[in-house]
């Protein structure tokens, strides 16, 4: 197997301004067969070089590595029931005709909830944000179409806490991250870990306001975020606005991880749970549920124009993240690929990653299968 074409493609992506740096890995038949890192943390030539143990803001990949995995474990425990109304578990959620939304609706993204709201612009506490979601009105009739919703997965994070009786982080640490040895996977990385994190965008006015309110606008953080050229960028603090408002821990975003830790996670998924999750549960969550969309339960599946490219099989499952991250697993070919970038640096207006991801996965497939 020759991964020179994959490495060259990533190098070209850096030259083309798709992202300043990337860490990536490929697994096949139970082994990690390629792992590499290219580029730098920013486009500053003196910036820190990207390494395979670098820390990345996973953005919406958090939805599957964290929240969806938690849902699978609770399902295996017999504590989570897809067709149970959310309001039976969280009564406040029933406001404004949301009483019939089920847990399945949240996982399928057909609940009727809006995609997102810019709560960070008007609210300042996690409690205010959750209350606003529970009081929100339906954006469309439940079950009539798929609208990918951060609000639904934020709610699911709260469901996991209520059902398990544990905090979100404690439950995931005990049931997922610690058993898999994912020692660098965390919400709200400590300052020492943040030194390994890839920077994202500049500090926005709302973020600066929240930092001052919370006492996190410290000299230590300012020095951490300063590049050799004098510029400053958010680093090791969650990029997603509502996850930041929620204190860095949320069902839709907030996880930081490394390419090595995600290799452990995706290996577990391709081994059909590997003792962490029941095999039938993995299969159920990672297959397409309806003809109306490509969604599995929490996971996405391959579809026309998918980020997984043209060559991964139709049984493939995966997820992307806004910051420039993605994971894809192909059980038919016993292959997974992980691509972690900070394409949102210096600006999230750069969307070139959309065209890059399919090329990356096609190059991975060619490297393995010729």
Distance CA 332, CA 258 (A): 25
Q: What is the DSSP string of 211-253?
A: HHHHT---HHHHHHHB-TTS-B---SS--SHHHHHTTT--SSS
Strand locations in 309-367 (E): 317-321, 325-330, 335-341
Residue-wise pLDDT tens digits, 256-299: 999 999 999 999 999 999 999 999 999 999 999 999 899 999 99
Alpha-carbon torsion (8, 54, 217, 249), positive or negative = positive
Q: Helix (H, G, I), strand (E, B), or coil: what is residue 20?
A: coil
Tokens of 101: 């939304």
DSSP conformation class of 119: G
The candidate with the shortest Cα–Cα distance to 113, out of 160, 80, 146, is 146
Distance CA 310, CA 289 (A): 21
Task: Say if CB 157 and CB 170 are below 8 A apart.
Answer: no
Q: Helix (H, G, I), strand (E, B), or coil: what is residue 76?
A: helix
Residue-wise pLDDT tens digits, 302-358: 999 999 999 999 999 999 999 999 999 999 999 999 999 999 999 999 999 999 999
The number of beta carbons lying within 10 Å of the beta carbon of residue 97 is 12
Kindly state the average pLDDT of the residues 145-157.
98
Burial readout 343-368 (b: 16 or more C-beta within 10 A, e: otherwise): bbbbeeeeeebeebbbebbbbbbbbb
Residue-wise pLDDT tens digits, 222-236: 999 999 999 999 999
Q: 370 pLDDT band (50/70/90 cuts)?
A: confident
| Average pLDDT score, the chain | 98
Q: Which phi and psi angles does 115 have, rounded to 5°?
A: -60, -50
The number of beta carbons lying within 10 Å of the beta carbon of residue 278 is 15
The number of beta carbons lying within 10 Å of the beta carbon of residue 30 is 11
Kindly state the average pLDDT of the residues 45-69.
98
The candidate with the shortest Cα–Cα distance to 200, out of 180, 229, 227, 179, is 227
> Which residue matches tokens 């500053």?
44
Q: Which phi and psi angles does 319 have, rounded to 5°?
A: -165, 150
> Which residue matches tokens 């989570």?
80
Residue 122 pLDDT more than 90? yes
Question: How many residues in the chain?
Answer: 370
Within 8 A by CB and 6+ apart from 165, the residues are none
Residue-wise pLDDT tens digits, 177-225: 999 999 999 999 999 999 999 999 999 999 999 999 999 999 999 999 9
pTM for the model stands at: 0.98
The candidate with the shortest Cα–Cα distance to 79, out of 92, 70, 90, 66, is 70
In Å, what is the CA distance from 235 to each residue of 183, 291, 345? 19, 40, 11
Q: Helix (H, G, I), strand (E, B), or coil: what is residue 284?
A: helix
């Amino acid at each position: 197997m020759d991964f020179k074409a994959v490495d060259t493609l990533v190098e070209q992506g850096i030259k083309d301004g798709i992202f300043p740096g990337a860490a990536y890995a490929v697994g096949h038949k139970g082994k990690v067969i390629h792992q590499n890192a290219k580029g730098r943390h920013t486009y500053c030539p003196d910036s820190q070089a990207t390494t395979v143990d670098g820390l990345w803001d996973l953005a919406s990949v958090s939805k599957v590595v964290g929240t969806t995995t938690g849902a699978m474990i609770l399902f295996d425990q017999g504590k989570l029931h897809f067709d149970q109304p959310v309001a039976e578990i969280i009564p406040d959620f029933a406001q404004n005709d949301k009483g019939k939304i089920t847990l399945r609706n949240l996982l399928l993204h057909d609940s009727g909830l809006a995609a997102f709201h810019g709560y960070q612009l008007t609210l300042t506490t996690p409690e205010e944000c959750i209350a606003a979601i529970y009081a929100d009105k339906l954006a469309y009739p439940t079950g009539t179409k798929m609208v990918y919703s951060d609000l639904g997965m934020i709610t699911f994070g709260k469901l996991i806490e209520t059902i398990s009786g544990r905090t979100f982080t404690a439950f995931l640490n005990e049931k997922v991250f610690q058993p898999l040895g994912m020692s660098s996977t965390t919400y709200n990385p400590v300052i020492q870990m943040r030194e390994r994190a890839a920077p994202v965008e500049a500090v926005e006015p709302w973020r600066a306001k929240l930092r001052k309110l919370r006492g996190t606008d410290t000299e230590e953080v300012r020095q951490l975020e300063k590049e050799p050229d004098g510029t400053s960028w958010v680093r090791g603090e969650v990029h997603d606005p509502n996850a930041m408002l929620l204190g860095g821990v949320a069902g839709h975003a907030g996880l930081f991880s490394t390419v090595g830790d995600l290799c452990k996670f995706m290996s577990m998924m391709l081994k059909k749970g590997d003792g962490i999750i029941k095999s039938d549960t993995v299969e159920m969550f990672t297959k397409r549920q309806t003809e109306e969309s490509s969604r599995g339960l929490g996971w996405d599946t391959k579809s026309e124009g998918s980020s997984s490219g043209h060559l991964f099989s139709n049984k493939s499952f995966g997820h992307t993240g806004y910051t420039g991250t993605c994971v894809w697993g192909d059980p038919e070919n016993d292959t997974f690929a992980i691509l972690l970038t900070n394409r949102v640096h210096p600006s999230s207006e750069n969307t070139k990653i959309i065209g890059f991801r399919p090329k990356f996965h096609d190059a991975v497939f060619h490297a393995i299968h010729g």
